[in-house]
């Protein structure tokens, strides 16, 4: 049994209010709290969409709104914590190595920050660590805000809707693993392309 199947069964036996609260909390914790990096966000979102499609008492519009807000606020919290506390923490422990790392991070986010924040959403673990690192690197707040909103929409809302429509399209449900692998390979490819381009510059 896959994680998505297990979560689907668990959510199916839960009250709608619990589904909304649980999904919002899980998404927020995975994106905003470093200690929750291990949570399988992609599988949970897909399963939530499946559940919403098969239950009349679960509203998909309400669900994706909660997920979007949770994903957006999670990254915002991570960014603020990184910028306010992470940066000062590193500055108190200043060394040539740390200073060089911060400089490289600043240069990276200045050049690729917007796309990196969006693409990171589709990498397990990395999506948890990307916001605080962006904050430490002092990525432009408004660029981060825009990238965060788009990333929350594409990842949080997108994967949930994929699960929702997969319930009525068996082929889509059976191909969900392949679709997930496709997105992972796509993001890896785009990241590698940006890296190679930066080496040439």
Listed range (3-12, 75-84, 115-124) with the worst mean pLDDT: 3-12
Q: CA 81, CA 86: separation in Å to the nearest integer?
A: 7
DSSP letter at 56? T
CA atoms within 13 A on the CB side of 100: 3
- pLDDT tens across 140-187, in order? 889 899 999 999 999 999 989 988 887 776 665 555 555 555 555 655
Report, in angstroms and rounded to the nearest whole number, the Rg of the chain calculated over CA atoms: 18
Listed range (9-18, 56-65, 122-131) with the worst mean pLDDT: 9-18
127-138: average pLDDT: 84
Of 62, 86, 78, 81, residue with least CA distance to 120? 78
Indicate the pTM of the whole model: 0.75
Residues 6+ apart with CB under 8 A from 15: none
Residue 66 has pLDDT above 90, yes or no: yes
* The pLDDT of residue 1: 46
Of 119, 124, 90, residue with least CA distance to 106? 90
- pLDDT tens across 5-53, in order? 556 676 777 787 888 888 898 889 888 776 666 666 777 888 888 888 8
* The pLDDT of residue 125: 76
Q: Under a CB-based contact definition with an 8 Å cutoff, are residues 63 and 18 in contact?
A: no
* The pLDDT of residue 172: 58
State percent of the chain over pLDDT 70. 67
């Amino acid at each position: 049994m896959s994680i998505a199947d297990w979560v689907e069964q668990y959510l199916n036996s839960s009250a709608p209010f619990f589904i909304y609260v649980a999904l919002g909390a899980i998404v927020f914790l995975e994106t905003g709290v470093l200690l929750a990096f291990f949570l399988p966000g992609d599988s949970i979102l897909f399963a939530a969409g499946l559940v919403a499609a098969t239950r009349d008492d679960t509203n998909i519009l309400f669900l994706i709104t909660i997920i979007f807000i949770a994903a957006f606020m999670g990254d915002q919290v991570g960014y603020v914590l990184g910028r306010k506390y992470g940066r000062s923490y590193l500055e108190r422990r200043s060394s040539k190595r740390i200073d060089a790392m911060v400089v490289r991070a600043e240069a990276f986010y200045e050049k690729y920050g917007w796309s990196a924040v969006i693409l990171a959403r589709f990498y397990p673990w990395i999506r948890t660590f990307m916001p605080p690192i962006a904050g430490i690197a002092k990525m432009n707040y408004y660029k981060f805000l825009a990238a965060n909103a788009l990333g929350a929409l594409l990842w949080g809302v997108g994967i949930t809707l994929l699960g929702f429509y997969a319930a009525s399209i068996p082929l889509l449900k059976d191909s969900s693993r392949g679709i997930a692998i496709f997105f992972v390979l796509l993001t890896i490819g785009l990241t590698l392309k940006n890296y190679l381009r930066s080496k040439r510059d």
